[in-house]
Structure 1
């Protein structure tokens, strides 16, 4: 590339005999919006760490602004204008917006004094550069994820960033916030700042990227202008598989719903919500931020008890004031954040699976029966195809897809009748998503009633037989025939650009 800001040439890297990258090259132009895609384990993380000087390659060279660097250190990469924004954003939650944006500049000066006036001025200039406004005195821990991202981007710009690498920046923000983030990226492009964007979400790749580099099993498949790709081609190039979805068909309804919600309300969260759910159904629940969808799910699981209304199971009124109540009644809940809410990340796979059913595994003396435990662990390792040499492997060492299977196993071990899944495939690659979706369908075919909460419209359309759209705490619309609705039409309903009712 004639006007390349960065080139990675012939990069190879192995870890303990595992070849993470093999002869991979990448070129990013000045002001270019470039997307790096591939399944978990394809080498994306290793490549961006090499570009950022965090990891040293076994072979190859990184060229920045025409200057080759055989052994690039992290501080050198920063001084050359490379900034990496990881998923955790690496902000100081207890410090203010101004402090987070300006902190690194004062550290580099190695002075013992801080000018608060200058700190505010640096932050103000940085935000103004991308047309953003945030209260500079606000503590970062009080900001939304989307606002924290703006703080992280602004911090990068104050350090003269010429290339900003964003690792899964949209995994925890809403559609509205994604659009806003993309408008910021477009402003960066206009200023000549390049962006390397890593994502598993195909619709976002097509929306923002100019060029897509695809990795598979540590090798580069190729570089492609976005206009030359579509969903099917990109999926095939990433996975080597042709993945197709067929609409999910629920079985015939029983005379009495398995779950019925009547006029459920909680002040400030949701109002007068009513719906029914039958065995074997996969019900989609979607809506914008603040719509009340997760708050409703938490109410059904006893973590956000309603002020009024009724919950009925098999036609009988149920009192659910705690997760223990929900569990006894056969309701399971897979939370949106699997790492902090769904898993004991430092514990073994087996510990995570059996934690919900310990009482069932007790022997005659009230002690945990090792044989029952092993049987339970073995069943779910096999049934959900969790890829690990044994149940003793720690959960933190697993891929995102396998971690999600462990959370599924934890709740499936309780034998739920109703299973609520909030963002079941967040941060998971395409092939793993398909596997999770197949598991969900298999559970529904066994008669479990399932609720999928998601703002990924394709996920809702491909896997649900019916959809509820929430808006500002109310049910905006119920879609009975999902197969008759297109992605654009459902997006319009979610965004409030289509009338209320049932279709």
Structure 2
């Protein structure tokens, strides 16, 4: 039975159509996937459902009756709950306050806030996720990214007697979660489904969609391409419908082999946050860094970036006996970095594509290396944008107007502005669609063939195995093992995290 039906959804920004006569039907008690490349219109549709964006045209029916959707209050009255792609938390409030924020705070005698009941409600919501390690009194800013996402998910599970939840809209909820946390979320989703609620699930992780969803609707360029039952379609068909082209191989083949020339040797390196690093890298090699959440993966990259100061050990790197002393020095030594949180760590969202792309390279784009040339900046950015297949309306466009995948490509444009000797990638494909992922993989492969060395982290184990030559396994902020990827399986790699 159809629970929700959207028709003729159109939203234009100037000449560009974010949604062009799009449609969506969700059945009661189903998990419905919404898929498409970055910029296909998924996030805009979610904002329309949330009442945050006013469409140019739209028809919404609930249980066969046409209903208004003029703002967030209408969405709340219909029982819509939202987990947006970006972490919309108030970092200086407690976990409990963030979870209960959308509800009326319980009060004692109608006056003072009943904080005991606030914490009880927050704790009950976390318990539904089988989460018992998060203190509801702790400041949310002190949590890891994954735990902050769990807090956002828990906030949608707080009950409301006035407007019971009927539709949960989840936009990339697993992007910052570990495998175990994902399993807990999917158990909750199954429970919601059994209770009769519907879930609109947006994810670029194909395995999640194929294993946990009932149907899938695919958008491309703001239009609805098709809706299919998961049991009656395939990964290949979904990818082709999303991209308009067939992508037969998940990971592009390596062209050539890493050079024999040694690039880096690390001996018993210890910093404030990691210990026991001991490995070597050849030019053109791709080294993965893996482990359970918060095991020190990102800190390995930060050591090469100059953020983690060596306390002991020896490093021979770029024919020098020292690591960079600061990130600014690292960029000068052609060490490029792509952070895991592009919006918080990687971008000046209200500045233009050009401003973001050229930031570390201003000295090379100026006259007499003093004043940067805007003309050179635009030419430089345009060439790199074409290389990374960036979709934009103009180079002066603010980055906040771009889709998540295209924001990630801007960060990559900065990293590729001067061909790096070492490329540091921290979760480089988080929140990126399958087509953009393939573009990123192809770029990394091309850099490797040209002699650039890469160190990358990822919570996507097949991605690490498919892209890397070797994988460094971290446990409790210490190096545990290094393993060749030839013949390695995700199950075996995961097992090494616990050995």
Q: Same fold (TM over 0.5)?
A: yes
Q: Hey, what's the Cα distance between the residues in 1 that align with 2:388 and 2:172?
A: 26
1:261 to 255, 260, 266: 266
Q: Hey, what's the Cα distance between the residues in 2 that align with 1:73 and 1:348?
A: 30
1:301 to 305, 312, 324: 305
Contact 2:339 2:425 in 1 (8 A): yes
Matched, 1:181 2:179: no
Contact 2:317 2:323 in 1 (8 A): no
Shift of the 314–361 alpha-carbon distance from structure 1 to 2, 3 Å rule, reads closer
Q: 1:44 maps to what in 2?
A: 42
2:424 to 400, 420, 423: 420
Shift of the 285–130 alpha-carbon distance from structure 1 to 2, 3 Å rule, reads closer
1:53 deviates by: 2.9
Q: Hey, what's the Cα distance between the residues in 2 that align with 1:280 and 1:150?
A: 38
Q: Hey, what's the Cα distance between the residues in 2 that align with 1:13 and 1:211?
A: 25
Q: 2:97 maps to what in 1?
A: 99
Matched, 1:282 2:295: no
Contact 2:29 2:193 in 1 (8 A): yes
Contact 1:43 1:217 in 2 (8 A): yes
Query: Is the deviation greater in 375-384 or in 288-297?
Result: 375-384
Q: 2:154 maps to what in 1?
A: 154
Q: Hey, what's the Cα distance between the residues in 2 that align with 1:59 and 1:264?
A: 60
Shift of the 389–34 alpha-carbon distance from structure 1 to 2, 3 Å rule, reads closer
Matched, 1:29 2:27: yes
Contact 1:249 1:465 in 2 (8 A): no
1:113 deviates by: 4.7
Shift of the 189–223 alpha-carbon distance from structure 1 to 2, 3 Å rule, reads same
Contact 1:42 1:217 in 2 (8 A): yes
1:303 deviates by: 0.5
Contact 2:54 2:70 in 1 (8 A): yes
Q: 1:119 maps to what in 2?
A: 118
1:247 to 221, 238, 253: 253
1:137 deviates by: 1.9
SS of the residue corresponding to residue 328 of structure 2 reads: helix
SS of the residue corresponding to residue 336 of structure 2 reads: strand
Shift of the 376–493 alpha-carbon distance from structure 1 to 2, 3 Å rule, reads same
Contact 1:130 1:187 in 2 (8 A): no
SS of the residue corresponding to residue 90 of structure 1 reads: coil
Q: List per-residue Cα deviations over 1:459-486 (Å, max 9, x = no partner).
A: 223332333333333344433353x33x
Q: Hey, what's the Cα distance between the residues in 1 that align with 2:289 and 2:485?
A: 14
1:323 to 323, 327, 347: 327
Q: List per-residue Cα deviations over 1:92-143 (Å, max 9, x = no partner).
A: 322223323333332799x765333443443344445555444332222223
SS of the residue corresponding to residue 7 of structure 1 reads: strand
SS of the residue corresponding to residue 429 of structure 2 reads: coil
Following superposition of structure 1 onto structure 2, how do residues 350-429 of structure 1 map, counting pairs within 5 Å? 350-364=354-368, 366-369=370-373, 372-388=376-392, 390-429=394-433
Shift of the 100–257 alpha-carbon distance from structure 1 to 2, 3 Å rule, reads same
Following superposition of structure 1 onto structure 2, how do residues 61-76 of structure 1 map, counting pairs within 5 Å? 61-76=59-74
SS of the residue corresponding to residue 53 of structure 1 reads: coil
Alignment gaps of 5+ in structure 2:
none
Contact 2:465 2:485 in 1 (8 A): no
Q: Hey, what's the Cα distance between the residues in 2 that align with 1:315 and 1:437?
A: 28
Matched, 1:335 2:339: yes
Q: Hey, what's the Cα distance between the residues in 1 that align with 2:385 and 2:82?
A: 36
1:298 deviates by: 0.4
Contact 2:216 2:229 in 1 (8 A): yes
SS of the residue corresponding to residue 104 of structure 1 reads: coil
Q: Hey, what's the Cα distance between the residues in 1 that align with 2:428 and 2:12?
A: 32
Query: Is the deviation greater in 466-475 or in 35-44?
Result: 466-475
1:205 deviates by: 1.3
Following superposition of structure 1 onto structure 2, how do residues 7-26 of structure 1 map, counting pairs within 5 Å? 7-26=5-24
SS of the residue corresponding to residue 421 of structure 1 reads: strand
- The root-mean-square deviation of aligned C-alpha atoms, in Å, is 2.9
Contact 1:101 1:158 in 2 (8 A): no
Query: Is the deviation greater in 280-289 or in 384-393?
Result: 384-393
Q: List per-residue Cα deviations over 1:408-440 (Å, max 9, x = no partner).
A: 232333442111111222212111111122111
Contact 1:356 1:414 in 2 (8 A): no
Shift of the 315–52 alpha-carbon distance from structure 1 to 2, 3 Å rule, reads closer
Q: List per-residue Cα deviations over 1:277-303 (Å, max 9, x = no partner).
A: 212222222222122111111011110
SS of the residue corresponding to residue 87 of structure 1 reads: coil
TM-score normalised by the chain length of structure 2? 0.88
SS of the residue corresponding to residue 275 of structure 1 reads: strand
Q: Hey, what's the Cα distance between the residues in 1 that align with 2:11 and 2:392?
A: 23
Shift of the 438–158 alpha-carbon distance from structure 1 to 2, 3 Å rule, reads same
TM-score normalised by the chain length of structure 1? 0.87
1:56 deviates by: 4.0
Paired positions, count: 490
Contact 1:98 1:123 in 2 (8 A): yes
Contact 1:12 1:20 in 2 (8 A): yes
Q: 1:270 maps to what in 2?
A: 274
Q: Hey, what's the Cα distance between the residues in 2 that align with 1:108 and 1:55?
A: 31
Contact 2:122 2:136 in 1 (8 A): yes
SS of the residue corresponding to residue 137 of structure 1 reads: coil
Shift of the 116–442 alpha-carbon distance from structure 1 to 2, 3 Å rule, reads same
Query: Is the deviation greater in 11-20 or in 89-98?
Result: 11-20
Shift of the 491–315 alpha-carbon distance from structure 1 to 2, 3 Å rule, reads farther
Q: 2:143 maps to what in 1?
A: 143
SS of the residue corresponding to residue 294 of structure 1 reads: helix
SS of the residue corresponding to residue 270 of structure 1 reads: coil
Q: Hey, what's the Cα distance between the residues in 2 that align with 1:129 and 1:418?
A: 44
Following superposition of structure 1 onto structure 2, how do residues 142-221 of structure 1 map, counting pairs within 5 Å? 142-156=142-156, 157-159=158-160, 160-221=164-225
Q: Hey, what's the Cα distance between the residues in 1 that align with 2:394 and 2:44?
A: 26
Contact 1:286 1:494 in 2 (8 A): no
Q: Hey, what's the Cα distance between the residues in 1 that align with 2:456 and 2:64?
A: 49
